[in-house]
């Protein structure tokens, strides 16, 4: 039995990242598909991952790939905003004669609703690594698919498949798509992505969590560092980007990882996401000595009232202290911000931009507030009359193609202005110059600067 795993182009009008930045930031490996591929291979299935984003496949090229590969079962991953591209992939897979299953975080909120599309046979909810191999075995052996935990089909709906321990799953497969196909505007090629833990106990109001994400599971230091060694030895990786929800949740484990990296004399750069209230001077010194070159902080806003509404459980003093401490340890800093929050005033927007520029951040990203289904922000936006209650349902059915409504006036213009204010400052010239000197990021940086220089100033009048 042949199986294909597909990530198609987002075709996404609802990205939190403004259009100007979407393609310039990079294309990262899809770890979820990598874990599913490993799970299937362990059970003897022939499987290939087709990453249309990394391989720059258009609709016709994806059609040819699916037809030539001849998969019996095709799994397509998606987020809710990325549904138009996912439906395209499902249609092409069905046209090629395969059974089709849709998965990804989107299906936690919408499961049976996806069966509106005739090209989708099944929907997977929960742990894809178990759903896919159990469905493949059922189809191969002729046993009832209705018995597969986490599977939804026409006429039946099973409970979500529970989360697995990452160490039981094995490392994600990385051979289907050349590692050189992936790039990040920050990381040096070749680079790889990893996760050392799963889950997040925090309840930020803009963030959607699947049921499998509400419990935290951690890999041992030995398993994490062994995978890092594998990436360096077998793929020549120069930099590793961790994509845990919160890398430093367990301080002792992070210290163990750092000490093991140093004991093995592993020479590789790495970065990780964290919270400002889960780092300290000593911890970041440990991390820097073990090769950590960058920390990504979810700062989100420079306005205390908006921070409280976001349920971040942090404050401006903690943020400032953490960013400055990282810089003292010799670690680069990346700050995530959200602008255009629900009823964000011009003064609140100005405070966020001023705060971002006051911090010693090397990089910053300014997303526009997007009320994803299943989040408190979505419920609040509906209650405030900012968006239609049935927008997302109509969107996944293809009945609407426009972006979901903004929650504050000039939200997208505010995001562009924030980028402009942050990056087009004299102190950021060395950062931009450094990336312009790298061939793989030169065009992204130059076109990004050009876009910022051309961007309108509608939001400037608000400040």
CB atoms within 10 A of CB 402: 9
Nearest to 271 by CA among 246, 289, 296, 251: 296
**For position 459, what pLDDT does the model report?**
44
CB atoms within 10 A of CB 155: 8
**What average pLDDT does range 129-137 have in this prediction?**
98
Give 240-296 pLDDT, tens digit per residue: 999 999 999 999 999 999 999 999 999 999 999 999 999 999 999 999 999 999 999
- For the chain, the domains span 2-154, 186-369+406-462
pLDDT band at 78 (very low <50, low <70, confident <90, very high): very high
Percent of the chain with pLDDT over 70: 89
Name the superfamily (CATH) of residues 186-369+406-462: tm_1862 like domain (3.80.30.20)
Contact 261, 228 (CB under 8 A): yes
- How far apart CA 290 and CA 225 sit, in angstroms, is 11
pLDDT band at 433 (very low <50, low <70, confident <90, very high): low
Return the ∠ at Cα 240 (arms to 325 and 211), rounded to 5°.
85
- pLDDT of residue 462 exceeding 50: no
Do the strands 239-242 and 269-274 form a parallel or antiparallel pair, or are they unpaired?
A: parallel
**For position 357, what pLDDT does the model report?**
97
Contact 420, 26 (CB under 8 A): no
Give 89-102 pLDDT, tens digit per residue: 999 999 999 999 99
**For position 447, what pLDDT does the model report?**
53
- How far apart CA 374 and CA 396 sit, in angstroms, is 14
Give 208-236 pLDDT, tens digit per residue: 876 656 678 999 999 999 999 999 999 99
How far is CA 251 from each of CA 133, 187, 241, 284, rounded to the nearest angstrom? 35, 25, 19, 10
- How far apart CA 242 and CA 387 sit, in angstroms, is 34
Question: Same CATH topology for 2-154 and 186-369+406-462?
Answer: no
What is 2-154's CATH topology?
Rossmann fold (3.40.50)
- How far apart CA 293 and CA 18 sit, in angstroms, is 27
Q: What are phi and psi of 126, to 5 degrees?
A: 105, -145
- pLDDT of residue 463 exceeding 50: no
Give 317-350 pLDDT, tens digit per residue: 999 999 999 999 999 999 999 999 999 999 999 9
**What average pLDDT does range 160-164 have in this prediction?**
91
pLDDT band at 460 (very low <50, low <70, confident <90, very high): very low
Contacts of 457 by beta carbon, 8 Å cutoff, 6+ apart? 413, 417
Cα dihedral across residues 309, 310, 313, 318: positive or negative: negative
- pLDDT of residue 446 exceeding 70: no
- How far apart CA 109 and CA 128 sit, in angstroms, is 15
- pLDDT of residue 85 exceeding 50: yes
Q: Which range has the worst mean pLDDT, 34-38, 254-258, 429-433?
A: 429-433
Give the residue with greater pLDDT, 63 vs 412.
Answer: 63
């Amino acid at each position: 039995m042949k199986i294909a795993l597909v990530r198609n182009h987002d075709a996404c009008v609802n990205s939190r990242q403004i259009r100007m930045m979407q393609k310039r930031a990079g294309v990262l490996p899809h770890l979820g598909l990598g874990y599913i591929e490993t799970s299937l291979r362990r059970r003897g299935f022939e499987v290939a991952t087709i990453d249309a984003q990394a391989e720059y496949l258009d609709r016709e090229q994806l059609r040819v790939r699916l037809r030539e590969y001849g998969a019996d079962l095709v799994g397509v991953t998606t987020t809710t905003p990325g549904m138009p591209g996912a439906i395209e992939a499902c249609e092409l897979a069905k046209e090629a004669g395969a059974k089709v299953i849709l998965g990804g975080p989107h299906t936690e909120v919408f499961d049976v609703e996806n069966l509106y599309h005739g090209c989708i046979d099944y929907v997977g909810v929960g742990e894809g690594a178990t759903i896919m191999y159990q469905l493949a075995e059922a189809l191969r052996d002729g046993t009832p698919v209705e018995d597969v935990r986490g599977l939804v089909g026409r006429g039946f709906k099973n409970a979500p498949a529970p989360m697995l321990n990452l160490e039981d799953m094995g490392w994600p497969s990385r051979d289907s798509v050349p590692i050189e196909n992936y790039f990040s505007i920050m990381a040096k090629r070749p680079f790889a992505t990893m996760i050392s833990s799963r889950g997040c106990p925090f309840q930020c109001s803009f963030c959607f969590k699947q049921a499998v994400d509400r419990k935290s599971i951690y890999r041992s230091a030995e398993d994490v560092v062994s995978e890092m060694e594998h990436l360096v030895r077998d793929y020549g990786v120069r930099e590793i980007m961790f994509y845990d929800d919160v890398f430093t949740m367990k301080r002792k484990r992070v210290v163990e990882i750092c000490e093991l990296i140093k004991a093995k004399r592993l020479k590789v750069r790495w970065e990780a996401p964290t919270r400002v209230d889960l780092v300290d001077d000593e911890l970041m010194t440990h991390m820097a000595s073990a090769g950590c070159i960058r920390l990504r902080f979810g700062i989100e806003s420079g306005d205390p009232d908006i921070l409280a509404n976001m349920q971040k459980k942090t404050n401006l003093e903690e943020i400032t202290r953490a960013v400055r401490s990282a810089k003292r340890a010799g670690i680069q800093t990346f700050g995530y911000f959200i602008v255009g929050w629900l009823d964000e005033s011009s003064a609140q927007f100005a405070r966020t931009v001023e705060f971002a520029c006051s911090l010693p951040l090397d990089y910053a990203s300014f997303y526009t507030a997007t009320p994803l289904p299943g989040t408190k922000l979505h419920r609040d936006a509906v209650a405030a009359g900012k968006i239609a209650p049935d927008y997302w349902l109509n969107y996944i059915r293809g009945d609407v193609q426009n972006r979901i409504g903004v929650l504050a006036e000039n939200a997208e213009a505010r995001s562009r202005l924030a980028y402009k204010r942050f990056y087009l400052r004299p102190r950021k010239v060395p950062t931009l110059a450094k990336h312009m000197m790298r061939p793989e990021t030169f065009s992204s940086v130059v076109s990004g600067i050009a876009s910022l220089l051309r961007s309108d100033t509608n939001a400037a009048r608000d400040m």
